[in-house]
Amino acid sequence: MNDIIWDAFISHASEDHKEVVIPLADLLTSSGLKIWLDKGEIFVGDSLREKIDEGLAGSQFGIVILSHNFFSKDWPRAELDGLFSREISGEKVILPVWHNISLEEIKRYSPLIAGKFAVSTSDGLSRVAKQILSAIHKVGRKASIGKPIYTGKLTKKAIMKFPEGSYLVSNCYSSFDRRPLIEEHVGYVDERENLWEQAKSSGSDGRLCHVFKDYDDYVAYARMIYSSSIKGST
């Protein structure tokens, strides 16, 4: 079984990218979800098909932006078929979003997807995001939610062992803006002497630190902590 890395994969036609997909993804990520979106996950030199297969396999849900553009493309419909294959086992996977399309029109394209509860962009993207969040939290999230891969003392030996590309955050904070004294990507091993010098000069050496798989995991963790603190104060 594949590890669940993202909460949801957004399947869409490129024509709906700017108007619907980007703002919806921004709303969902700002709420703490980890979203697979081709713009953010595919880089120069990557195999497009392999990366999209990776996104499908590593996502718990598939948010499908159903529009006339969507049904006119072979590729998005193939992604939908892949999501349907996962629902055969009884797993709730597909979260349909209608965009400028009616129920009768969807029935003509795909009676199976027409029978699923959906939310429409005509209700506003904020409501769409809220409905998606509610559906995901009702089922329960399986994606790792920004958990540190290392929590312990910040030592030179530890710095040399941190994975390249990970994100280091000290547990020492500025008295001015309460931000961590160190928030840095971990680079090549031969570049880490500078990071150690920074730790010593800031007084973070030997103190508690957290290391995350990447910056996005750190952001997800920070949002989760902030959300918990708000709930605890109400």
Do 153 and 206 form a contact (C-beta atoms < 8 A)? Answer: yes
Q: Which two tokens stand for residue 166?
A: 């990970």
Query: Strand runs (DSSP E) across the chain, as ranges?
Result: 6-11, 35-36, 59-66, 94-98, 119-120, 150-153, 167-170, 183-185, 208-212
Check if 79 is active-site: yes
Do 202 and 172 form a contact (C-beta atoms < 8 A)? Answer: yes
Q: What is the C-alpha to C-alpha distance for residues 231 and 112, in angstroms, rounded to an integer?
A: 39
Report the side by side order of strands in the sheet with 150-153: 150-153, 208-212, 167-170, 183-185
Name the active-site residue from 15, 19, 54, 79. Answer: 79
Q: What is the C-alpha to C-alpha distance for residues 153 and 131, in angstroms, rounded to an integer?
A: 41
Query: Phi-psi bin for 174: left (phi > 0), alpha (psi -120 to 50), beta?
Result: beta
- Just list the catalytic residues: 79
